[in-house]
Structures are given as C-alpha cells and as structure tokens.
C-alpha cells in the first residue's frame, strides 16, 4: 500500500512548483508594456488559483492540519494531475506571451502583437483561464470536502452531523453539476470557434493569415488540456460525493454498471430505524454507471415500493 505521507509530500512539491510558476507568470504579465485588458485580466485568474494552491500546500505541509487519511484524499492522483497540469499550462503560457511581444519595443506594443492578442482573446486566453478555473475547482472540491469531514468528526451531536452531511452531499452535487455544465459549454464553444478578425484592414492580410494559423494550433492544444482538467474535476467530484456519502451512511460506492433498460437496488434498501443505527455496516459499491433508460436506487432507502420499481 502506498504511504499516505509520501503521496502528500509529492503533491506538496508539485503545488510549490506551480505557485512559483504562477508568481513568475504574473511578473511577466506586469512587464508587458501597454498590454491590452485581455492580458492584464489574466492576473486575477492567476491570483484566484494561487489562493487555492496556497491553501492546499499549507494544509498538506502542516502535520496538525488534518488526519493522514483525509490528507491522502486531498493528495489523490486527480488533484495531483490537476495541479501539475496547471503548472505546465502556466509555464507554457510564458513562452507565447514573450513571442506575442517580440515585435514590440520599449513602452510600445507592435501592431502585429496587438493583432495576435486580439485573436487570442477569442480563444486561447479563454482556454487558458478555463484551465486555471478547472484546477481551482478541483483543488477546492477536494480540500473543502476534507476540511468538512474533519469538522464533522470533531462534533458529538449525531443529529446535527447527520443534517450537515445530508446538506453537504446535496451542495457538492449541485456545485459540481454547475461546474461540469459551465466547463463543458466553454469547451464546446472553443471547439466551434473560428479564429478571425473581421475588423482588420486589407493590408494586414498576410500578417493576419500567419497569425491565425499560429493561434489555431495553440488553441487546439489548449482545448485538449481543458478536457483533461475537466476529467480531473469530474473524478474529484465523484470521490467527494462518495466520501461524504460514506461518512453519512457507512456505504462506499464504486464500480456498479446497470445496462440498458436495467433496474438495480444498490446499497441498503428499506432499512429499519435511523441511518445512525447502521453506521457500523460497511458496503463497498464500486463506480455506479447507468446506461440508456436504466434506473437504480443507490445507497440507503426507506419505505420504498420495490415491486413498483421493478415493473
């Protein structure tokens, strides 16, 4: 079994590297003389993800912050990959930023650089900031869930804990669904984007064609990264829901597939008494997947008409 301390130590190192890269990128942006708002606005996105990564680094690096088991949840492969992806994206963004301004001198940004930045405003910059937002969402989801579970375990009022866990489970599901929907919509928009600048004068034609090709290739690469970050968030969301659900019911859910038109009851169905009374029961249900027109009841259910469900 992997040592939780070695896992979290790895994430601490990756987070530290990402924080350094973000800091350097912010300095690079500040050094772009007369930069358009599309460039300067990136600083606020970088600052936002910087805050989440700083919290992650602080919690994992503090021996007293959380129990090792909860730290191991935060140090999952998905969060590690999300942070590493953010570090790579920020590092790679520095090179285009320099090339966009290589035709500029002193305090003046050249016409070509402004043209390229104008085109990037339609796609690549949005793709980059989406990667930052997805990384922040992934880290925040894992970190907030671990802190919440730790808080619950410090309390003694079981009824209050039960209500807190129920509310948290709904909140995580709703917030996660919103992030998934917004991110998917953004990726779909980027995929359908045609890089153009109708406002450019005819004399800019040769330069425009060259710049369009550069931007389109960069955009395709960043869309692929956006999709990766979305996968990391989705997996972290699933893990967070599973962890909160397990804390509330004692049931762990993974790897269950219901085929087309199928029906399934997964977990503890028509249980007698309160959920707290079955807290000691441990059930592992691996990854629930429901195909076309299939239905499933997963977890703990009371007062269910089973015959009606299977009709």
Burial label, 53 (beta-carbon count in 10 A; 0-12, 13-18, 19+): buried
pLDDT category at 245 given cuts 50, 70, 90 is confident
Residues 73-131 have pLDDT tens digits of: 888 899 999 999 999 999 988 877 776 655 555 555 556 566 666 666 667 888 999 99
* Matching residue, tokens 């690469």: 221
Same-domain pairing of 148 and 123 = yes
Same-domain pairing of 174 and 35 = yes
What is 35-87 written as a DSSP string?
--HHHHTHHHHHHHHHHHHHHHHHHHH-TTTS-HHHHHHHT-HHHHHHHHHHH
What is the chain written as a DSSP string?
---HHHHHHHHHHHHHHHHHHHHHHHHHHHTSTT--HHHHTHHHHHHHHHHHHHHHHHHHH-TTTS-HHHHHHHT-HHHHHHHHHHHHHHHHHHHHHHHHTTT-BTTB--HHHHHHHHHHTTTHHHHHHHHHHHHHHHHHHHHHHHHHHHHHHT---HHHHHHHHHHHHHHHHHHHHHHHHHHHHHHHHHHT-----TTS-GGGHHHHHHHHHHHHHHHHHHHHHHHHHHHHHHHHHHHHHHHHHHHHHSEEEEEEEE-TT-EEEEEEES--S-GGGGTT--EEEEEEEE-TT-EEEEEEE-S--HHHHT-
Domain span at residue 193? 4-248
Query: Of 197, 227, 248, which residue is a domain's last?
Result: 248
Same-domain pairing of 120 and 137 = yes
Q: Please, what is the average pLDDT of the chain?
A: 80
Q: Which residue has the higher pLDDT, 243 or 208?
A: 243
Query: Of 231, 248, 265, which residue is a domain's last?
Result: 248
Provide the domain count of the chain.
2
Q: How many CB atoms lie within 10 A of CB 288?
A: 19
Residues 174-206 have pLDDT tens digits of: 999 999 999 999 999 888 875 554 444 444 556
Same-domain pairing of 268 and 162 = no
pTM: 0.73
Same-domain pairing of 146 and 244 = yes
Same-domain pairing of 157 and 23 = yes
- Determine contact, residues 110/43, Cβ cutoff 8 Å: no
Q: What pLDDT score does 53 carry? A: 97
Query: Of 227, 248, 269, which residue is a domain's last?
Result: 248
């Amino acid at each position: 079994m992997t040592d939780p301390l070695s896992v979290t130590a790895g994430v601490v190192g990756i987070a530290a590297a990402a924080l350094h890269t973000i800091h350097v990128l912010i300095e690079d942006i500040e050094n772009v003389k007369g930069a358009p708002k599309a460039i300067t606005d990136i600083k606020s996105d970088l600052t936002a993800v910087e805050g989440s990564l700083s919290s992650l680094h602080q919690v994992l690096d503090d021996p007293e912050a959380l129990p090792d088991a909860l730290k191991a949840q935060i140090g999952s492969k998905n969060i590690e990959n999300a942070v590493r992806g953010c570090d790579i994206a920020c590092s790679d963004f520095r090179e285009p930023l320099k090339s966009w301004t290589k035709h500029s001198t002193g305090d003046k940004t050249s016409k070509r650089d402004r043209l390229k930045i104008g085109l990037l405003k339609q796609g690549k910059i949005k793709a980059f900031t989406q990667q930052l937002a997805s990384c922040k969402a992934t880290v925040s989801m894992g970190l907030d869930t671990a802190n919440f579970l730790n808080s619950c375990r410090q309390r003694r009022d079981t009824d209050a804990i039960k209500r807190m866990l129920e509310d948290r489970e709904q909140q995580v599901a709703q917030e996660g669904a919103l992030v998934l929907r917004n991110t998917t919509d953004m990726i779909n928009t980027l995929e359908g984007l045609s890089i153009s600048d109708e406002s450019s004068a005819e004399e800019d034609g040769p330069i425009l064609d060259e710049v369009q090709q550069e931007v389109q290739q960069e955009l395709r690469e960043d869309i692929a990264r956006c999709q990766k970050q979305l996968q990391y968030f989705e997996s972290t969301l699933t893990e967070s829901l599973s962890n909160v659900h397990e804390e509330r019911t004692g049931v762990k859910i993974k790897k269950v597939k219901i085929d087309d038109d199928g029906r399934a009851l997964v977990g503890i169905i028509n249980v007698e008494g309160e959920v707290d009374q079955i807290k000691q029961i441990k059930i592992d249900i691996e990854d629930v997947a429901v195909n076309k027109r299939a239905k499933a009841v997963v977890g703990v259910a009371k007062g269910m008409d089973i015959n009606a469900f299977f009709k």
